[in-house]
Amino acid sequence: MLLRHTPEEQIERSALTVNPAKTCQPVGAMYAALGIHNCLPHSHGSQGCCAYHRSALTRHYKDPIMATTSSFTEGASVFGGQANLLESIANIFSIYGPDLIAVNTTCLSEVIGDDLTQIVNKAQAEGKIPAGKRVIHANTPSFKGSHVTGFANMTQAMVQYLAESSGTKLRQFNIIPGYVEPSDMAEVKRIAAELGIAAVTFPDTSEVVNSPLDGKFHMYPKGGTKVEAIKSAGDSALTFALGRTASLPAAKLLDTKCKVPFEVLDLPIGLQATDALIDALRKAAGVSVPESLMVERGRVVDLTTDMHQYFFRKKVALVGDPDHLVSLTQFLTDLDMEVVLVVTGTPPGPKFERRIRELAGDGVVVKAGLGTDMFQFHQYVKQLKPDLLFGNTYAKYIARDEDIPLIRIGFPIYDRVGHQYFPIVGYQGAMRLLEKILNALMDRQDRDAPEESFELVM
Protein backbone atom coordinates (compact mmCIF):
# COMPACT_ATOMS: atom_id res chain seq x y z
CA MET A 1 0.00 0.00 0.00
CA LEU A 2 2.84 2.41 0.82
CA LEU A 3 4.23 2.04 -2.69
CA ARG A 4 1.09 3.66 -4.07
CA HIS A 5 2.26 6.90 -2.48
CA THR A 6 5.54 6.90 -4.46
CA PRO A 7 5.53 10.14 -6.48
CA GLU A 8 6.46 10.14 -10.13
CA GLU A 9 8.54 13.31 -9.77
CA GLN A 10 12.14 12.78 -8.68
CA ILE A 11 13.00 14.03 -5.20
CA GLU A 12 16.65 14.75 -4.48
CA ARG A 13 17.80 12.92 -1.34
CA SER A 14 21.28 13.14 0.17
CA ALA A 15 20.79 11.46 3.57
CA LEU A 16 17.98 8.97 3.11
CA THR A 17 17.84 5.60 1.35
CA VAL A 18 14.47 3.91 0.87
CA ASN A 19 14.74 0.17 0.19
CA PRO A 20 18.37 -0.06 -1.02
CA ALA A 21 18.96 -1.89 -4.31
CA LYS A 22 21.57 -4.15 -2.67
CA THR A 23 22.40 -5.96 0.55
CA CYS A 24 25.54 -5.88 2.70
CA GLN A 25 29.07 -7.10 2.02
CA PRO A 26 29.18 -10.03 4.51
CA VAL A 27 26.33 -11.80 2.70
CA GLY A 28 28.38 -11.97 -0.49
CA ALA A 29 31.54 -12.89 1.42
CA MET A 30 29.75 -15.75 3.15
CA TYR A 31 28.38 -16.99 -0.17
CA ALA A 32 31.86 -16.93 -1.73
CA ALA A 33 33.32 -18.80 1.25
CA LEU A 34 30.77 -21.58 0.77
CA GLY A 35 32.42 -22.13 -2.62
CA ILE A 36 35.51 -23.64 -0.97
CA HIS A 37 35.37 -27.36 -0.17
CA ASN A 38 35.03 -28.13 3.57
CA CYS A 39 35.03 -24.42 4.45
CA LEU A 40 33.09 -22.90 7.35
CA PRO A 41 32.31 -19.18 6.96
CA HIS A 42 32.78 -17.10 10.11
CA SER A 43 31.23 -13.70 10.81
CA HIS A 44 33.45 -11.53 13.03
CA GLY A 45 30.83 -9.48 14.80
CA SER A 46 27.62 -9.90 16.76
CA GLN A 47 25.27 -12.88 16.66
CA GLY A 48 22.57 -10.75 15.07
CA CYS A 49 24.75 -9.90 12.09
CA CYS A 50 25.58 -13.54 11.41
CA ALA A 51 21.94 -14.55 11.84
CA TYR A 52 20.89 -12.04 9.16
CA HIS A 53 23.58 -13.15 6.71
CA ARG A 54 22.68 -16.82 7.19
CA SER A 55 18.93 -16.21 6.95
CA ALA A 56 19.29 -14.17 3.74
CA LEU A 57 21.17 -17.02 2.05
CA THR A 58 18.96 -19.72 3.58
CA ARG A 59 15.78 -18.04 2.31
CA HIS A 60 17.29 -17.60 -1.15
CA TYR A 61 18.53 -21.19 -1.50
CA LYS A 62 15.92 -22.99 0.66
CA ASP A 63 18.89 -24.80 2.20
CA PRO A 64 20.38 -24.35 5.70
CA ILE A 65 23.53 -22.25 5.54
CA MET A 66 26.22 -23.14 8.08
CA ALA A 67 28.31 -20.31 9.56
CA THR A 68 29.77 -19.30 12.91
CA THR A 69 30.18 -15.99 14.71
CA SER A 70 32.53 -14.26 17.14
CA SER A 71 29.45 -13.35 19.23
CA PHE A 72 30.42 -9.81 20.20
CA THR A 73 28.96 -8.47 23.44
CA GLU A 74 29.44 -5.08 25.08
CA GLY A 75 32.95 -6.05 26.20
CA ALA A 76 34.16 -6.96 22.73
CA SER A 77 32.53 -3.83 21.33
CA VAL A 78 34.64 -1.70 23.66
CA PHE A 79 37.91 -3.61 23.93
CA GLY A 80 38.02 -5.33 20.53
CA GLY A 81 37.18 -8.80 19.28
CA GLN A 82 40.61 -10.46 19.30
CA ALA A 83 39.90 -12.70 22.29
CA ASN A 84 36.54 -13.73 20.82
CA LEU A 85 38.04 -14.65 17.45
CA LEU A 86 40.98 -16.58 18.94
CA GLU A 87 38.59 -18.61 21.07
CA SER A 88 36.26 -19.09 18.10
CA ILE A 89 39.03 -20.44 15.87
CA ALA A 90 40.08 -22.99 18.50
CA ASN A 91 36.49 -24.09 19.14
CA ILE A 92 35.55 -24.33 15.46
CA PHE A 93 38.43 -26.59 14.53
CA SER A 94 37.85 -28.70 17.65
CA ILE A 95 34.08 -29.09 17.30
CA TYR A 96 33.28 -28.77 13.57
CA GLY A 97 36.56 -29.83 11.95
CA PRO A 98 36.57 -27.77 8.72
CA ASP A 99 39.61 -27.68 6.46
CA LEU A 100 39.39 -23.90 6.33
CA ILE A 101 37.72 -21.03 8.18
CA ALA A 102 36.85 -17.97 6.08
CA VAL A 103 36.44 -14.93 8.33
CA ASN A 104 34.53 -11.88 7.17
CA THR A 105 34.30 -8.67 9.16
CA THR A 106 31.14 -6.70 9.94
CA CYS A 107 30.37 -3.05 10.63
CA LEU A 108 31.13 -3.43 14.32
CA SER A 109 34.53 -5.07 13.99
CA GLU A 110 35.50 -2.62 11.24
CA VAL A 111 34.55 0.43 13.33
CA ILE A 112 36.50 -0.97 16.30
CA GLY A 113 39.47 -1.48 13.99
CA ASP A 114 40.30 -5.14 14.61
CA ASP A 115 43.46 -6.16 12.74
CA LEU A 116 42.42 -9.49 11.26
CA THR A 117 45.82 -10.24 9.72
CA GLN A 118 47.48 -9.87 13.13
CA ILE A 119 44.81 -11.96 14.85
CA VAL A 120 45.10 -14.81 12.31
CA ASN A 121 48.90 -14.76 12.68
CA LYS A 122 48.54 -14.85 16.47
CA ALA A 123 46.17 -17.83 16.23
CA GLN A 124 48.77 -19.60 14.09
CA ALA A 125 51.58 -18.79 16.51
CA GLU A 126 49.58 -20.01 19.51
CA GLY A 127 48.79 -23.33 17.84
CA LYS A 128 45.05 -22.71 17.59
CA ILE A 129 45.11 -23.63 13.89
CA PRO A 130 45.86 -27.37 13.50
CA ALA A 131 48.47 -28.59 11.03
CA GLY A 132 47.11 -28.69 7.49
CA LYS A 133 44.23 -26.34 8.34
CA ARG A 134 43.89 -22.73 7.18
CA VAL A 135 42.21 -19.47 8.23
CA ILE A 136 41.66 -16.69 5.70
CA HIS A 137 39.91 -13.37 6.08
CA ALA A 138 38.35 -10.52 4.09
CA ASN A 139 37.46 -7.02 5.23
CA THR A 140 33.78 -6.55 4.43
CA PRO A 141 32.29 -3.52 6.20
CA SER A 142 28.55 -3.29 5.58
CA PHE A 143 28.59 0.51 5.44
CA LYS A 144 30.28 0.52 2.04
CA GLY A 145 29.95 -1.53 -1.12
CA SER A 146 27.39 -4.33 -1.36
CA HIS A 147 27.03 -8.11 -1.40
CA VAL A 148 28.86 -8.10 -4.74
CA THR A 149 31.77 -6.18 -3.20
CA GLY A 150 31.89 -8.68 -0.34
CA PHE A 151 31.97 -11.57 -2.78
CA ALA A 152 34.83 -9.91 -4.67
CA ASN A 153 36.77 -9.24 -1.47
CA MET A 154 36.46 -12.82 -0.22
CA THR A 155 37.45 -14.21 -3.64
CA GLN A 156 40.46 -11.90 -3.57
CA ALA A 157 41.31 -13.24 -0.09
CA MET A 158 41.35 -16.77 -1.53
CA VAL A 159 44.10 -15.65 -3.89
CA GLN A 160 45.96 -13.74 -1.17
CA TYR A 161 46.05 -16.62 1.29
CA LEU A 162 45.96 -19.74 -0.87
CA ALA A 163 47.24 -19.26 -4.45
CA GLU A 164 50.94 -20.01 -4.94
CA SER A 165 53.36 -20.10 -7.87
CA SER A 166 55.78 -23.03 -8.10
CA GLY A 167 57.50 -21.55 -11.13
CA THR A 168 56.15 -24.28 -13.43
CA LYS A 169 53.15 -23.36 -15.56
CA LEU A 170 50.37 -25.95 -15.85
CA ARG A 171 48.19 -26.60 -18.89
CA GLN A 172 45.11 -25.30 -17.07
CA PHE A 173 43.06 -22.11 -16.85
CA ASN A 174 41.39 -20.27 -14.00
CA ILE A 175 37.75 -19.23 -14.24
CA ILE A 176 36.41 -16.78 -11.65
CA PRO A 177 32.67 -17.09 -12.32
CA GLY A 178 31.43 -13.97 -10.55
CA TYR A 179 28.47 -13.58 -8.21
CA VAL A 180 26.15 -16.05 -9.91
CA GLU A 181 24.01 -19.00 -8.84
CA PRO A 182 25.45 -22.49 -8.22
CA SER A 183 23.61 -23.63 -11.33
CA ASP A 184 25.48 -20.99 -13.33
CA MET A 185 28.84 -22.06 -11.91
CA ALA A 186 28.04 -25.66 -12.86
CA GLU A 187 27.13 -24.54 -16.39
CA VAL A 188 30.41 -22.63 -16.81
CA LYS A 189 32.31 -25.76 -15.72
CA ARG A 190 30.27 -27.87 -18.14
CA ILE A 191 31.10 -25.58 -21.05
CA ALA A 192 34.82 -25.80 -20.21
CA ALA A 193 34.52 -29.59 -20.02
CA GLU A 194 32.72 -29.72 -23.38
CA LEU A 195 35.70 -27.86 -24.85
CA GLY A 196 38.07 -30.36 -23.21
CA ILE A 197 39.73 -27.67 -21.09
CA ALA A 198 41.23 -28.21 -17.64
CA ALA A 199 39.88 -25.38 -15.51
CA VAL A 200 40.10 -24.29 -11.87
CA THR A 201 36.78 -22.60 -11.11
CA PHE A 202 36.70 -20.69 -7.83
CA PRO A 203 34.69 -20.08 -5.84
CA ASP A 204 32.28 -22.87 -6.80
CA THR A 205 29.05 -23.21 -4.84
CA SER A 206 27.55 -25.90 -7.07
CA GLU A 207 26.67 -29.02 -5.06
CA VAL A 208 26.96 -26.94 -1.90
CA VAL A 209 23.87 -24.71 -1.68
CA ASN A 210 21.92 -26.79 -4.23
CA SER A 211 22.97 -30.22 -2.99
CA PRO A 212 20.48 -33.13 -3.17
CA LEU A 213 18.41 -34.36 -0.23
CA ASP A 214 19.55 -37.90 0.61
CA GLY A 215 18.19 -38.25 4.14
CA LYS A 216 21.54 -37.51 5.82
CA PHE A 217 22.99 -34.36 7.35
CA HIS A 218 26.13 -33.11 5.62
CA MET A 219 27.94 -30.37 7.49
CA TYR A 220 30.15 -29.97 4.42
CA PRO A 221 28.55 -31.04 1.12
CA LYS A 222 30.81 -32.60 -1.49
CA GLY A 223 30.95 -29.48 -3.69
CA GLY A 224 33.25 -26.49 -3.53
CA THR A 225 36.71 -25.88 -4.94
CA LYS A 226 39.39 -27.71 -3.01
CA VAL A 227 42.15 -25.72 -1.35
CA GLU A 228 44.76 -27.60 -3.40
CA ALA A 229 43.06 -26.49 -6.63
CA ILE A 230 43.03 -22.82 -5.56
CA LYS A 231 46.69 -23.19 -4.58
CA SER A 232 47.47 -24.46 -8.09
CA ALA A 233 45.71 -21.43 -9.62
CA GLY A 234 49.02 -19.62 -9.27
CA ASP A 235 50.50 -21.95 -11.89
CA SER A 236 47.69 -21.61 -14.43
CA ALA A 237 48.30 -20.24 -17.92
CA LEU A 238 45.52 -17.63 -17.85
CA THR A 239 42.63 -16.39 -15.72
CA PHE A 240 39.18 -15.60 -17.12
CA ALA A 241 37.36 -13.11 -14.88
CA LEU A 242 33.63 -13.21 -15.62
CA GLY A 243 32.15 -9.89 -14.60
CA ARG A 244 34.26 -6.84 -13.88
CA THR A 245 32.79 -5.95 -10.48
CA ALA A 246 32.81 -9.37 -8.80
CA SER A 247 35.80 -11.08 -10.43
CA LEU A 248 38.37 -8.48 -11.50
CA PRO A 249 39.96 -7.81 -8.05
CA ALA A 250 40.93 -11.48 -7.60
CA ALA A 251 42.20 -11.76 -11.17
CA LYS A 252 44.36 -8.65 -10.76
CA LEU A 253 45.86 -9.94 -7.52
CA LEU A 254 46.59 -13.32 -9.09
CA ASP A 255 48.47 -11.52 -11.84
CA THR A 256 50.42 -9.39 -9.37
CA LYS A 257 51.19 -12.21 -6.95
CA CYS A 258 51.74 -15.19 -9.27
CA LYS A 259 52.22 -13.61 -12.71
CA VAL A 260 49.09 -15.25 -14.13
CA PRO A 261 47.71 -12.94 -16.87
CA PHE A 262 43.97 -12.38 -17.01
CA GLU A 263 41.20 -11.56 -19.44
CA VAL A 264 38.00 -9.84 -18.31
CA LEU A 265 34.76 -10.97 -19.95
CA ASP A 266 31.12 -10.14 -19.36
CA LEU A 267 29.01 -12.71 -17.56
CA PRO A 268 28.02 -15.20 -20.30
CA ILE A 269 24.33 -14.29 -20.26
CA GLY A 270 22.82 -14.40 -23.73
CA LEU A 271 24.18 -15.22 -27.15
CA GLN A 272 26.99 -12.69 -27.66
CA ALA A 273 28.45 -12.96 -24.16
CA THR A 274 28.42 -16.76 -24.33
CA ASP A 275 30.02 -16.64 -27.78
CA ALA A 276 32.74 -14.40 -26.32
CA LEU A 277 33.49 -16.81 -23.46
CA ILE A 278 33.63 -19.89 -25.67
CA ASP A 279 35.76 -18.09 -28.25
CA ALA A 280 38.18 -16.88 -25.57
CA LEU A 281 38.49 -20.40 -24.10
CA ARG A 282 38.91 -21.89 -27.57
CA LYS A 283 41.70 -19.51 -28.53
CA ALA A 284 43.55 -19.81 -25.23
CA ALA A 285 43.48 -23.61 -25.22
CA GLY A 286 43.92 -24.09 -28.97
CA VAL A 287 40.86 -26.32 -29.32
CA SER A 288 37.84 -26.50 -31.61
CA VAL A 289 34.26 -25.86 -30.54
CA PRO A 290 32.43 -29.22 -30.37
CA GLU A 291 29.23 -29.94 -32.25
CA SER A 292 27.33 -30.23 -28.96
CA LEU A 293 27.82 -26.52 -28.20
CA MET A 294 27.04 -25.53 -31.78
CA VAL A 295 23.71 -27.37 -31.52
CA GLU A 296 22.88 -25.50 -28.29
CA ARG A 297 23.74 -22.20 -29.94
CA GLY A 298 21.57 -23.02 -32.95
CA ARG A 299 18.59 -23.60 -30.69
CA VAL A 300 18.97 -20.15 -29.14
CA VAL A 301 19.11 -18.58 -32.60
CA ASP A 302 16.11 -20.62 -33.73
CA LEU A 303 13.93 -19.63 -30.79
CA THR A 304 14.98 -15.99 -31.09
CA THR A 305 14.10 -15.96 -34.79
CA ASP A 306 10.77 -17.73 -34.34
CA MET A 307 9.58 -15.41 -31.56
CA HIS A 308 11.22 -12.15 -32.59
CA GLN A 309 7.94 -10.35 -33.19
CA TYR A 310 7.04 -10.68 -29.49
CA PHE A 311 10.32 -9.15 -28.31
CA PHE A 312 10.46 -6.31 -30.83
CA ARG A 313 10.29 -2.81 -29.31
CA LYS A 314 9.18 -4.01 -25.88
CA LYS A 315 10.50 -1.62 -23.22
CA VAL A 316 12.44 -3.11 -20.30
CA ALA A 317 13.60 -1.79 -16.90
CA LEU A 318 16.39 -3.56 -15.01
CA VAL A 319 17.48 -3.45 -11.37
CA GLY A 320 20.22 -5.66 -9.94
CA ASP A 321 23.96 -6.26 -9.80
CA PRO A 322 26.30 -4.48 -12.26
CA ASP A 323 27.74 -7.60 -13.92
CA HIS A 324 24.28 -9.04 -14.53
CA LEU A 325 22.97 -5.73 -15.84
CA VAL A 326 25.68 -5.33 -18.48
CA SER A 327 25.12 -8.80 -19.94
CA LEU A 328 21.34 -8.56 -19.70
CA THR A 329 21.38 -5.21 -21.47
CA GLN A 330 23.36 -6.73 -24.32
CA PHE A 331 21.11 -9.79 -24.54
CA LEU A 332 17.87 -7.82 -24.48
CA THR A 333 19.03 -5.28 -27.05
CA ASP A 334 20.13 -8.18 -29.27
CA LEU A 335 16.48 -9.29 -29.10
CA ASP A 336 15.47 -5.81 -30.32
CA MET A 337 13.97 -4.96 -26.94
CA GLU A 338 14.47 -1.41 -25.63
CA VAL A 339 16.29 -1.16 -22.31
CA VAL A 340 15.06 2.16 -20.90
CA LEU A 341 16.19 1.97 -17.26
CA VAL A 342 19.17 0.35 -15.48
CA VAL A 343 19.57 0.69 -11.70
CA THR A 344 22.09 -0.82 -9.28
CA GLY A 345 22.89 -0.06 -5.66
CA THR A 346 26.38 -1.53 -6.01
CA PRO A 347 29.19 0.96 -6.78
CA PRO A 348 30.07 -0.41 -10.24
CA GLY A 349 33.16 1.55 -11.22
CA PRO A 350 33.59 4.25 -13.89
CA LYS A 351 33.18 2.04 -16.95
CA PHE A 352 29.69 0.75 -16.07
CA GLU A 353 27.55 3.64 -17.29
CA ARG A 354 29.58 4.06 -20.46
CA ARG A 355 29.19 0.34 -21.24
CA ILE A 356 25.42 0.42 -20.68
CA ARG A 357 25.04 3.42 -22.97
CA GLU A 358 27.15 1.74 -25.66
CA LEU A 359 24.73 -1.17 -25.62
CA ALA A 360 21.37 0.52 -25.04
CA GLY A 361 21.93 3.99 -26.50
CA ASP A 362 22.15 7.41 -24.93
CA GLY A 363 18.43 7.46 -24.12
CA VAL A 364 18.69 4.87 -21.35
CA VAL A 365 18.42 6.12 -17.76
CA VAL A 366 21.33 4.76 -15.68
CA LYS A 367 21.46 5.13 -11.90
CA ALA A 368 24.21 3.45 -9.89
CA GLY A 369 26.03 3.45 -6.58
CA LEU A 370 25.59 5.29 -3.32
CA GLY A 371 22.04 6.52 -2.68
CA THR A 372 20.45 4.50 -5.48
CA ASP A 373 17.46 2.57 -4.18
CA MET A 374 14.20 0.86 -5.10
CA PHE A 375 12.24 4.05 -4.38
CA GLN A 376 14.15 5.80 -7.17
CA PHE A 377 13.71 2.77 -9.44
CA HIS A 378 9.96 2.92 -8.81
CA GLN A 379 9.82 6.61 -9.66
CA TYR A 380 11.50 6.03 -13.02
CA VAL A 381 9.26 3.04 -13.72
CA LYS A 382 6.27 5.34 -13.26
CA GLN A 383 7.77 7.84 -15.72
CA LEU A 384 9.06 5.45 -18.40
CA LYS A 385 6.23 2.86 -18.29
CA PRO A 386 8.19 -0.25 -19.37
CA ASP A 387 6.51 -3.43 -20.58
CA LEU A 388 8.71 -5.73 -18.49
CA LEU A 389 10.76 -5.55 -15.29
CA PHE A 390 13.86 -7.54 -14.35
CA GLY A 391 14.84 -7.67 -10.68
CA ASN A 392 14.94 -9.61 -7.44
CA THR A 393 12.04 -10.44 -5.12
CA TYR A 394 11.81 -6.88 -3.80
CA ALA A 395 10.79 -5.68 -7.25
CA LYS A 396 7.54 -7.68 -7.01
CA TYR A 397 5.88 -4.89 -5.04
CA ILE A 398 6.62 -2.38 -7.79
CA ALA A 399 5.54 -4.89 -10.44
CA ARG A 400 2.17 -5.38 -8.76
CA ASP A 401 1.64 -1.71 -8.02
CA GLU A 402 2.34 -0.74 -11.65
CA ASP A 403 0.79 -3.89 -13.17
CA ILE A 404 3.97 -4.87 -15.07
CA PRO A 405 5.25 -8.46 -15.49
CA LEU A 406 8.44 -9.26 -13.53
CA ILE A 407 11.27 -11.62 -14.48
CA ARG A 408 13.03 -12.58 -11.25
CA ILE A 409 16.80 -12.49 -11.50
CA GLY A 410 19.72 -11.80 -9.18
CA PHE A 411 19.84 -11.81 -5.37
CA PRO A 412 17.77 -12.30 -3.33
CA ILE A 413 14.90 -14.36 -4.70
CA TYR A 414 12.80 -15.47 -1.75
CA ASP A 415 9.46 -16.22 -3.36
CA ARG A 416 10.36 -18.55 -6.24
CA VAL A 417 12.52 -21.63 -6.79
CA GLY A 418 14.62 -22.78 -9.71
CA HIS A 419 17.45 -20.25 -9.67
CA GLN A 420 19.68 -22.65 -7.72
CA TYR A 421 19.02 -25.52 -10.14
CA PHE A 422 18.63 -23.99 -13.61
CA PRO A 423 21.27 -21.68 -15.10
CA ILE A 424 20.80 -18.37 -16.88
CA VAL A 425 24.36 -18.39 -18.29
CA GLY A 426 25.51 -20.15 -21.45
CA TYR A 427 23.30 -21.20 -24.31
CA GLN A 428 21.18 -23.34 -21.97
CA GLY A 429 20.66 -20.32 -19.74
CA ALA A 430 19.75 -18.15 -22.72
CA MET A 431 17.02 -20.64 -23.63
CA ARG A 432 15.66 -20.48 -20.10
CA LEU A 433 15.63 -16.68 -20.11
CA LEU A 434 13.92 -16.60 -23.50
CA GLU A 435 11.25 -18.95 -22.18
CA LYS A 436 10.69 -16.84 -19.04
CA ILE A 437 10.44 -13.63 -21.08
CA LEU A 438 8.08 -15.12 -23.64
CA ASN A 439 5.86 -16.73 -21.00
CA ALA A 440 5.57 -13.42 -19.15
CA LEU A 441 4.65 -11.55 -22.34
CA MET A 442 2.24 -14.25 -23.51
CA ASP A 443 0.52 -14.47 -20.12
CA ARG A 444 -0.01 -10.74 -20.19
CA GLN A 445 -1.29 -10.87 -23.78
CA ASP A 446 -3.77 -13.61 -22.88
CA ARG A 447 -4.90 -11.80 -19.75
CA ASP A 448 -5.62 -8.57 -21.61
CA ALA A 449 -6.99 -10.04 -24.85
CA PRO A 450 -10.67 -9.45 -25.71
CA GLU A 451 -12.72 -12.56 -26.49
CA GLU A 452 -12.30 -12.22 -30.25
CA SER A 453 -8.49 -12.10 -29.92
CA PHE A 454 -8.03 -14.84 -27.32
CA GLU A 455 -6.05 -17.16 -29.60
CA LEU A 456 -5.16 -20.83 -29.16
CA VAL A 457 -1.95 -20.53 -31.19
CA MET A 458 0.56 -17.68 -30.83
For 170-190, write each residue's pLDDT tens digit.
Answer: 999 999 999 999 999 999 999
Residue 422 lies in a domain: yes
The whole-number pLDDT of residue 1 equals 46
For residues 300 and 439, membership in a common domain is answered with: yes
The whole-number pLDDT of residue 11 equals 75
> What is the extent of the structural domain holding 45?
25-162
Q: Which of 289, 304, 336 is the last residue of a domain?
A: 289
CATH number, domain containing residue 438: 3.40.50.1980
Q: Under a CB-based contact definition with an 8 Å cutoff, are residues 404 and 395 in contact?
A: no
Is 107 labeled as catalytic in the residue annotation?
yes
Residue 393 lies in a domain: yes
The whole-number pLDDT of residue 181 equals 98
For 189-219, write each residue's pLDDT tens digit.
Answer: 999 999 999 999 999 999 999 999 999 999 9
For residues 83 and 188, membership in a common domain is answered with: no
Q: Which of 127, 143, 162 is the last residue of a domain?
A: 162
The one catalytic residue in 27, 107, 339, 342 is 107
The one catalytic residue in 111, 295, 301, 417 is 111
Residue type, 197: I
The whole-number pLDDT of residue 88 equals 97
For 353-405, write each residue's pLDDT tens digit.
Answer: 999 999 999 999 999 987 799 999 999 999 999 999 999 999 999 999 999 99
For residues 254 and 317, membership in a common domain is answered with: no
Residue 457 lies in a domain: no
Q: Which of 289, 306, 330 is the last residue of a domain?
A: 289
Q: Which residues of 49-81 are buried (b: 16+ CB within 10 A; e: fewer)?
A: bbebbbebbeebbebebbbbbbbbeeebeeebb
What residue ranges of the chain have pLDDT lower than 50? 1
For 135-148, write each residue's pLDDT tens digit.
Answer: 999 999 989 999 99
For residues 281 and 177, membership in a common domain is answered with: yes
Residue 95 lies in a domain: yes
For residues 276 and 374, membership in a common domain is answered with: no
Domain total of the chain:
3
For residues 123 and 143, membership in a common domain is answered with: yes
For residues 273 and 390, membership in a common domain is answered with: no
Residue 167 lies in a domain: no
For residues 118 and 197, membership in a common domain is answered with: no
Residue 20 lies in a domain: no
Q: Global pTM?
A: 0.96
* Residues across the chain: 458
Residue type, 76: A
